[in-house]
Amino acid sequence: MDIVVSGVRPTNRQHIGNYFGAVKNFVEMQSQYNCYFFVADYHSLTTHPHPADLSANVRQTVIEYLACGLDPEKCVLYRQSDVPQIPELYLVFNMLAYLGELERAATFKEKVRSQPDNVNAGLLTYPVLMAVDIIVHRALKVPVGKDQLQHLEMTRTFANRFNHLYGVEYFPEPQAFSFSEKSASIPSLDGEGKMSKSKGESTVIYLDDDSDTIRKKMMRAKTDTGPTEPNSVKSQSVQNLFDIMQLISSQDTYNFFNESFNNCTIRYGDFKKQLGEDMVKFIEPIRERIKEISANEAYINKVLNEGGEKARLSASKTLNDVREIIGFRKF
């Protein structure tokens, strides 16, 4: 069975963009592949988070993953920092990564622009750590968003460089596992771009939003002045809401409103009210699961302890082989 790895930076609350863009796909993959999903807490140190925030965010991310349906019986769910083989392999791979190629990474250049007073070495070698996350399990498939494709290309470069330098065929070439375009991007409720926390609280539906908050946010979502002639092209903001409806409402509901848009009888108030109710129904079970799991400290610890153990087992096999290959041998 192919090995899959994906990581997520710890965050306090995930939204439906994260769900449809990432987590939902992980849930589908866990029954088809040998999956390793982890919270990338080493990676998050590049921004120097407050220790209490870091710890709370790791916890919340794990809880939300579980609430969305990741099943520790079907996949390995762990915290990156519970696997000491990762920083050890990272050290080895830092010797194989060149300054020039690291400086050319788009994410690094972006950080140099956006945070010039914190261009630390960890940012520069972020792609090496990410590569190691993947190759430490000798993974073949990596479900990631578009912004991570360059890192994946660098992963292949580092893996091939290792193989070439040591004359082995040890690391396979991991490939991006791309989701269908449809699930790739959830639009923002303000009508522009994709849903993202950075655009403001009211433009995002969180997985733990309460029902009234969801209704309010949906009612405030941007629309336009309405169709003036039959079968007109939808404005971006209205198209966005139809896209969301396609994902969470029944096909009948979608068809009904699509038709009423096309014959100009649509009332956006009713449309958004329906969308709000369907969103409430969609979020409710996830929110309840989040609450339930949050109250069960023993379960969260058990999941992380067992996940960590399985991840270390897989990682230590790789590391033992690597130590042998590079010449760290017993006499």
Residues engaged in binding ligand AMP (CB under 6 A): 8-9, 11, 17-18, 20-22, 145, 185-186, 194-196
Find the shortest distance in angstroms from Cβ 196 to ligand AMP: 6
DSSP element (H, E) containing 217: helix 211-219
Is 109 a known active-site residue? no
Given the structure tokens 């971006």, which residue do they identify?
236
DSSP symbols for 8-77: E---S--BHHHIIIIIHHHHHHTTTSEEEEEE-HHHHGGG---HHHHHHHHHHHHHHHHHHT--TTTSEE
Contacts of 66 (CB under 8 A, 6+ apart): 72, 77, 289, 293, 303
With CB under 5 to 8 Å by kind, the binding choice for 5 among ligand TRP, ligand AMP, none is: ligand TRP
Buried b (16+ CB within 10 A) or exposed e, 185-219: bbbbbbbeeebebeeeeebbbbbbbeeebbbebbe
Measured between alpha carbons, how far apart are the two ends of the chain, in Å?
Answer: 36
Could you tell me which of 249, 202, 206, 248 has the C-alpha nearest to residue 222? Answer: 202
Question: Looking at beta carbons, which residue is closest to ligand AMP?
Answer: 21
Is 24 a known active-site residue? no
Question: Of 7-15, 48-56, 88-96, 251-259, which part binds ligand TRP (CB under 6 A)?
Answer: 7-15
| Residue 70 binds to ligand TRP (criterion: CB under 6 A) | no
Binding mask 211-240 for ligand TRP (x = CB under 6 A): ------------------------------
| Residue 46 binds to ligand TRP (criterion: CB under 6 A) | no
Residue 185 or residue 258: which is nearer to ligand AMP going by CB? 185
Find the shortest distance in angstroms from Cβ 5 to ligand TRP: 5
Phi, psi of 37 (to 5 degrees): -115, 135
Find the shortest distance in angstroms from Cβ 134 to ligand AMP: 15
Could you tell me which of 21, 23, 64 has the C-alpha nearest to residue 287? Answer: 64
* 98-106, Cβ contacts within 8 angstroms, sequence gap of 24 or more: 99/124, 101/154, 101/157, 102/127, 102/128, 105/150, 105/151, 105/154, 106/150
* Dist CA 281 CA 205 (whole Å): 13
Is 197 a known active-site residue? yes
Find the shortest distance in angstroms from Cβ 172 to ligand TRP: 15
| Residue 40 binds to ligand TRP (criterion: CB under 6 A) | yes
Catalytic pick among 24, 74, 194, 234: 194
Find the shortest distance in angstroms from Cβ 40 to ligand AMP: 10
* Dist CA 94 CA 153 (whole Å): 16
Residue 14 or residue 148: which is nearer to ligand TRP going by CB? 148
Residue 74 or residue 194: which is nearer to ligand AMP going by CB? 194
| Residue 14 binds to ligand TRP (criterion: CB under 6 A) | no
Residue 242 or residue 256: which is nearer to ligand AMP going by CB? 242
Q: Are 136 and 90 in contact (CB under 8 A)?
A: no
Contacts of 241 (CB under 8 A, 6+ apart): 221, 223, 271, 272, 275
Find the shortest distance in angstroms from Cβ 133 to ligand TRP: 4
Question: Looking at beta carbons, which residue is closest to ligand TRP?
Answer: 7
Find the shortest distance in angstroms from Cβ 238 to ligand TRP: 30
Indicate which single residue of 4, 6, 20, 25 sits in contact with ligand TRP (rule: CB under 6 A).
6
Residues 109-168 that bind ligand TRP (CB under 6 A): 130, 133-134, 142, 144, 148
Residues that bind ligand TRP (CB under 6 A): 5-9, 40, 43, 130, 133-134, 142, 144, 148
Catalytic residues: 111, 194, 197
